[in-house]
Amino acid sequence: DAKTTQPTSMDCAEGRAANLPCNHSTISGNEYVYWYRQIHSQGPQYIIHGLKNNETNEMASLIITEDRKSSTLILPHATLRDTAVYYCIVRVGGSQGNLIFGKGTKLSVKP
C-alpha cells in the first residue's frame, strides 16, 4: 500500500470548515484514498473514500487532485465533537484486507 503523509496536528474554530491535507505521491492506479477518524481511544470510524472523483457524504467531502498525489478531507462546519485523530489510508479498494494506520492528524476544534 502507498505511503501517506499528514500534518501532525491542526486547529480549527468551531463552525468553520476544517481542511485536512494528505500526500500520497506513490499511489497506484487501483488504490483508493480512505479517511477514518478516532475520537479519544474509541474504535476508528470510517468517514469517506474515493478513487478519482471528488466525493461527498453526510459527514465530509473528499477532494482528490487530478494527478491523485494528494487529497483533502473537508469537514464543512466543524463542531467540538469533530475533535479527533484523522487517518488518511491508501489501499486497494474494498472492505476486506487490513487497514494500515499511520499517525494521522490530530484535529482540535476550538470554541
Which spans of this chain sit near other proteins (rule: CB under 8 A)?
32, 34, 38, 41-46, 49, 87, 93-103
* Nearer residue to other proteins within complex by CB, 34 or 78: 34
Q: Is there a contact between 45 and 37 (Cβ–Cβ < 8 Å)?
A: yes
Q: Is 106 exposed, middle or buried (0-12, 13-18, 19+ CB in 10 A)?
A: middle
Give the shortest CB-30-to-other proteins separation in angstroms: 13
Q: Centre a 10 Å sphere on the Cβ of residue 89 and count the other Cβ atoms it contains.
A: 22
* Nearer residue to other proteins within complex by CB, 12 or 91: 91
Give the shortest CB-21-to-other proteins separation in angstroms: 19
* Nearer residue to other proteins within complex by CB, 1 or 14: 1
Q: Is 24 exposed, middle or buried (0-12, 13-18, 19+ CB in 10 A)?
A: buried
